[in-house]
Structure 1
Amino acid sequence: MQLIDGAIFNISPGPSHKHQQVLRELSAAFSVFLKGKECEVFFAPFDVRLFGQNKKDNEINNVVQPDLSIICDSEKLDDKGCNGSPDMIVEILSSASVKLDRWIKYRLYEEAGVKEYWIVDPVNESVEMHLLTDGQYIFKGVFTKSDTISVETLSNLVLDLEQIFI
């Protein structure tokens, strides 16, 4: 369950085999790179309470569960997940989540100040990159299985997408 602007979104059915493979490989790549560093990677289910700073739980209208979240400010982490905007979010598309990820969450993450947003398509084996510039997402391109992709939020991390889309 996710809460966006006070409306409940239930995503079903559960993620596909390919979705979970891509999530596993991305999680592993980020985890290895971030070991011993300031930033941490978290994967769904993990609650991200956007715009939640200094609010009581019943006042928070946006709770999402991105497939992957990179958080570099440990002050945002608590026992309930992340209170505030992650530095980076990755959403892996499924047939049930296309509109939610490409439109509703895109706008929500942009408004919340998420610096880097990836939309991963496991069927077409591609990654769409959006970077926040002056409060708006700028489309940086589509990367496919034969490409490498530099993670802008984490300098020196370059992913070989052939290792992600196995």
Structure 2
Amino acid sequence: MGLALKDTEHHCYGDYLHWSDNNYELIDGEAYFMAPAPNLEHQEVAGDVYFQLRSALAGKKCRAFIAPIDVRLPKKDEADESIDTVVQPDVLVVCDSHKLDRRGIRGAPDWILEVLSPSTASHDQIKKRELYEHHGVREYWLIHPIDRVLTIYRLQNGEYGKAEILELRGSTPISILDNVQIEWDDLLTRLPSVEECL
């Protein structure tokens, strides 16, 4: 089951700020409803990765954030209220402090992690991959917590090359960050195996 569109109207950040229900992301003016309560595996993975990143980046210029936080992706230099793409990645890293303001982040993060779930998998793997590539996100990670698979896209010459697909085990370095890697073994002991989910 894919994500539901709010309607067929074209929306921008000015509209989004007035919605009482903020479980939406905007992509090119289309409002996609996001699940309000991620499952336990999703929360475990996002929380653990964020905790590791926050610890590893302490005292450094790059900063880690976890959803919900608005990431506005302008097409040019339009005012905030006119921006028609606003997403909330699960975990992200921003290295340019000029992109940070009281509303969240304006401009592409350097690194993004999305935790896949059945309702968002195609959205994250296709629509958001294309979006992040277009806006210059340098590294994009997709984790399938049940299958224990990590897919990594790295920006080269403005495009994501062939994906690197890894088993979640041991540790995985974040190539755009010096001496930062994510350790999986402790996290995996808290996640159900594929057999437990059948």
Which TM-score band (shorter chain)? over 0.9
Are residue 155 (structure 1) and residue 178 (structure 2) matched? yes
Q: Which of the numbers 22, 28, 33 marks the counterpart of 1:5?
A: 28
| Pairs within 5 Å for 1:129-144 | 129-144=152-167
CA offsets 1:37-95 (integer angstroms, 9 cap, x no match): 00000110000001266321231011000001100000000011000000011101111
One-letter code aligned to 1:7? E
Q: How many residue pairs get matched? A: 166
Larger fraction in strand: 1
Are residue 103 (structure 1) and residue 126 (structure 2) matched? yes
Q: Which of the numbers 18, 38, 55 marks the counterpart of 2:61?
A: 38
The Cα shift of 1:160 comes to: 2.3
CA offsets 1:10-45 (integer angstroms, 9 cap, x no match): 022521101100111101110100011000001100
Matched residue SS, 2:43? helix
CA separation in 1, counterparts of 2:105 and 2:37?
Answer: 23
| Pairs within 5 Å for 1:7-26 | 7-12=30-35, 14-26=37-49
Matched residue SS, 1:66? coil
Q: TM-score, normalised by structure 1?
A: 0.94
Q: Which of the numbers 77, 87, 92 marks the counterpart of 2:110?
A: 87
RMSD over aligned Cα, in angstroms? 1.4
One-letter code aligned to 1:111? H
**Contact 1:87–1:116 (CA<8 Å) still a contact in 2?**
yes
Identical-pair percentage = 34
**Contact 1:44–1:68 (CA<8 Å) still a contact in 2?**
yes
Q: TM-score, normalised by structure 2?
A: 0.80
CA separation in 1, counterparts of 2:63 and 2:104?
Answer: 12
CA offsets 1:110-147 (integer angstroms, 9 cap, x no match): 00000000001111122111100001112342222324
Are residue 112 (structure 1) and residue 135 (structure 2) matched? yes
Q: Which runs of 5+ in 2 are unaligned?
A: 1-23, 191-198
CA separation in 2, counterparts of 1:68 and 1:53?
Answer: 25
Q: Which runs of 5+ in 1 are unaligned?
A: none
The Cα shift of 1:150 comes to: 1.1
Q: Which has the larger radius of gyration?
A: 2
Out of 48-57 and 14-23, give the one that drifted further.
48-57
CA separation in 2, counterparts of 1:139 and 1:34?
Answer: 28
Q: Which of the numbers 75, 91, 100 marks the counterpart of 1:77?
A: 100
Matched residue SS, 1:32? helix
